[in-house]
Amino acid sequence: MDKTSPRCKVAIIGSGNIGTDLMIKVLRHGKHLEMGAMVGIDPASDGLARARRLGVATTAQGVEGLLALPEFKDIGIAFDATSAGAHAHHNELLQAHGVKVIDLTPAAIGPYVVPAINLDAELDASNINMVTCGGQATIPMVAAVSRVAKVHYAEIVASIASKSAGPGTRANIDEFTETTSKAIEVIGGAQKGKAIIVLNPAEPPLIMRDSVFVLSEVVDRDAIAASVAEMVASVQRYVPGYRLKQEVQFDLLETPVNVPGVGMLAGLKTSIFLEVEGAAHYLPAYAGNLDIMTSAALSCAERMAERGKVRVLPSALV
């Protein structure tokens, strides 16, 4: 990259596992981004300590502390990796200062975004929502089917290691299912969506696994398989550990079945089984659920900065 090209400074709100992993990604792999500040509420958190060691400005006074930092004047994008309940307050304060917000909570104030599906269409939004880890992993598969067939119903099951589910994830289980189910419909293209999350306590911890079941009109199976393969490749561009566990499975349902909220339907059932291995920048490799969120958020911020959709000040030049 040209040494004189502008880079967008970013702040990360939330110094837990997700926020810390995202910080490491920005520091190691940021092309159009650089760290401006790490924000937490626990002065003793490992994330804040690590940020200080790496020369990143920090505050343990939450978003109000961020606004008080001298570095805040250069911030163009803020990632919120806290909770759905806290996000509304954070967003209100940041929007008042013209800062773009990338929401990694299930608050869903802004439009749902999955980079492989609709990122370019939402670059002008002041707040974008990254849905959920399960949504980032599975909605691309629903969308892959829906672009070649009308999807009546889609159900996803996200199974993650219990050890990778921190207090934020556990506090947002209801929001996870509601947000993911809605996003399956809005950007996945399903008439009706349903999401289930499973916290697997197995030892040693298992890599994230996702099952996607889609009931659609009957179309050419090869067309669906090709669309799924193309979508997997698109996601792998920003999440290298994303992969199919086996070939796409098909079942022809000639006798109508009762789909809750939709009615009696027949059609083609497509079953897709995924595995998401994390990059292990900060989190363990089994925590693919967290890695896909930070990787997707980073991809969104990079595109915003690259396309000039965020504030970049002279002091942010390298």
Which amino acids are annotated catalytic? 133
| 146 annotated ligand binder | no
Find where tokens 């570095």 sit.
71
Check the annotation: does 15 bind a ligand: yes
Chain-centroid distance of CA 56 in Å reads 24
- Is 172 marked within a binding site? yes
Max Cα–Cα distance, the chain, nearest Å: 65
Q: Does residue 160 have a known ligand-binding role?
A: no
* 41 is annotated as contributing to ligand binding: no
CA–CA separation, 287 and 272 (whole Å) = 20
Provide Rg for the chain, Cα atoms. Answer: 20
> Comparing C-alpha atoms, which of 128, 102, 91, 125 is closest to residue 113?
128
- Does the annotation place 225 within a ligand binding site? no
- 181 among annotated binding-site residues: no
3-state helix, strand, coil in the chain (%, to 5): 40, 30, 30
Is 308 part of any known ligand binding site?
no
Q: Any known ligand binding at 36?
A: no
Is residue 166 annotated as involved in ligand binding? Answer: yes
Tokens of 140: 């691309």
Pairing type for strands 249-259 and 75-80 reads unpaired
Annotated ligand binding at 75? The verdict is no
Q: Is 169 annotated as a binding residue?
A: yes
With CA atoms as reference, report the closest residue to 276 among 85, 141, 83.
141
Q: What is the DSSP letter of 83?
A: -
Number of neighbouring beta carbons within 10 Å of residue 194: 19
Could you tell me which residues come within 8 angstroms of residue 70 by beta carbon, excluding any fewer than 6 positions away? none
Annotated binding site for NAD(+): 15-18, 164-172, 289
Annotated binding site: 15-18, 164-172, 289
